[in-house]
Chain A
Amino acid sequence: MKEHWMAAISRIASVIGVVLMLSAPGFAVTPDEVLQDTRLEVRARELSRTLRCLVCQNQSIDDSDAPLAHDLRVLLRERLTAGDTDAQAVGFMVARYGNFILLKPPVQADTLVLWFGPALLLMVAAIGFGRYVGRSAAAFSAETAPLKSDEQERLDVLLRARRST
């Protein structure tokens, strides 16, 4: 009984993001959305690829066939046709939905670690690598360094003694 209710509630919760997946995973840009002006259409496709479909899991509005994605695609094309630059058109979307709609997170105070982290990590790792290999190389050359003259003499003495037995 409880399982029924839990299942029901979770289904309701998913209906809130209504367009979520009840529409098929299919494909997105429909022929009637395509702009006549190919340059604008190319821009529209490019920009669509950078905008997240908000009711899908990890798809751009270019890939998703959710109704909201369709609306946003049409709206984007309208903004471009009206003369918006790429930045203005995208800004229009961000003003309404926030940075979440951007698939490429903006570089700002709270994403500095995200954007510069990998390069920093690489640097730190490279330094660590350099030091590790350096230490090993030093130990290696110490190990394989030619014997000093007194060590060589001692070795000769030992070898001669062994040969004579």
Chain B
Amino acid sequence: MQRLLSLIPVLIFAAVSTALGLSLSNDPRKLPSMLIDKPTPIFALASLEEGGSGLSSDDLKGRIVLLNVFASWCAGCRIEHPMLMALAENSGIPIYGVSWKDERASGARWLKANRSPYVRVGDDQSGRLGIDLGVTGVPETFVIDRTGRIRYRHAGPITDDVWQETFAPLLAELRTERP
């Protein structure tokens, strides 16, 4: 009995260290999105420019699209920008932009200075759409399918690796889905 009891600590420790080891491959800051497989929240954002058409949730229906949340003050967005430009030209997937928690003028200026990869852009200065999307920082990108449901959320800049490993396979799969 004593023999068995004295084995308990080492067994518990084995379990704990296994859990700790597994957790090393886990990023604690990654927050799973609550909106996966849910419809995009209904919204209507004004445009960044005077007299522009802005962005609404209706614009996102009908095709597979990417929704990219960005801000002019965000360094990660600056890093992501060339990738987005390349995607806009080559991937065939339309990208829509949301300027998050930024002055309208700053957002507009930023897009003018560094060409815009977006089909349309909405101004979310208040951050309300961000909250509805569960955004905690920028950049974040959402994959929205033909029915307007959010299928994936990526937090952080999209790099080549991220695109190849995560987005490309998902988009291929979505394309084969019957609407």
Contact: B76 with A12, CB < 8 Å?
Answer: yes
Interface residues of B in 21-36 (CB under 8 A from A): 29, 31-32, 34-35
A17 in contact (CB, < 8 A): yes
Q: How far is the CB of A95 from chain B (nearest CB, A)?
A: 6
**Within 8 Å CB of B74, what residues of A?**
15, 18
B155 in contact (CB, < 8 A): yes
**Within 8 Å CB of A18, what residues of B?**
71, 73-74, 137-138
Q: How far is the CB of B177 from chain A (nearest CB, A)?
A: 25
Interface string of B116-155 (1 = CB under 8 A from A): 0000000000111001111011110000000000000001
Q: Which of A37-45, A67-75, A137-145, A154-162 faces chain B? A: A67-75
Contact: B155 with A95, CB < 8 Å?
Answer: no
B14 in contact (CB, < 8 A): no
**Within 8 Å CB of B93, what residues of A?**
none
Q: How far is the CB of A147 from chain B (nearest CB, A)?
A: 31
Contact: A15 with B75, CB < 8 Å?
Answer: yes
Q: Interface residues of B, CB < 8 Å — how many? A: 26
Contact: A17 with B31, CB < 8 Å?
Answer: no
**Within 8 Å CB of B134, what residues of A?**
96-98
Interface string of A26-50 (1 = CB under 8 A from B): 0000000000000000000000000
A129 in contact (CB, < 8 A): no
Contact: A98 with B75, CB < 8 Å?
Answer: no
A54 and B134 CA atoms in complex are apart in Å by: 10
- The listed residue with most A CB atoms (<10 A of its CB), out of B34, B35, B133, B157, is B34
- Apart from A16-B156, A17-B29, A98-B32, what are 10 other A-B pairs with CB-CB below 8 Å? A15-B74, A18-B138, A19-B137, A54-B136, A55-B137, A71-B128, A97-B34, A97-B134, A97-B136, A98-B134
A selection of 21 A-B contacts at a CB cut-off of 8 Å is A12-B76, A12-B79, A12-B157, A15-B75, A16-B157, A17-B29, A19-B137, A20-B137, A54-B136, A67-B101, A68-B127, A71-B127, A94-B34, A96-B34, A96-B131, A96-B132, A96-B134, A97-B31, A97-B34, A97-B136, A98-B134
Binding site for A on B (CB under 8 A): 29, 31-32, 34-35, 71, 73-76, 79, 101, 126-128, 131-134, 136-139, 155-157
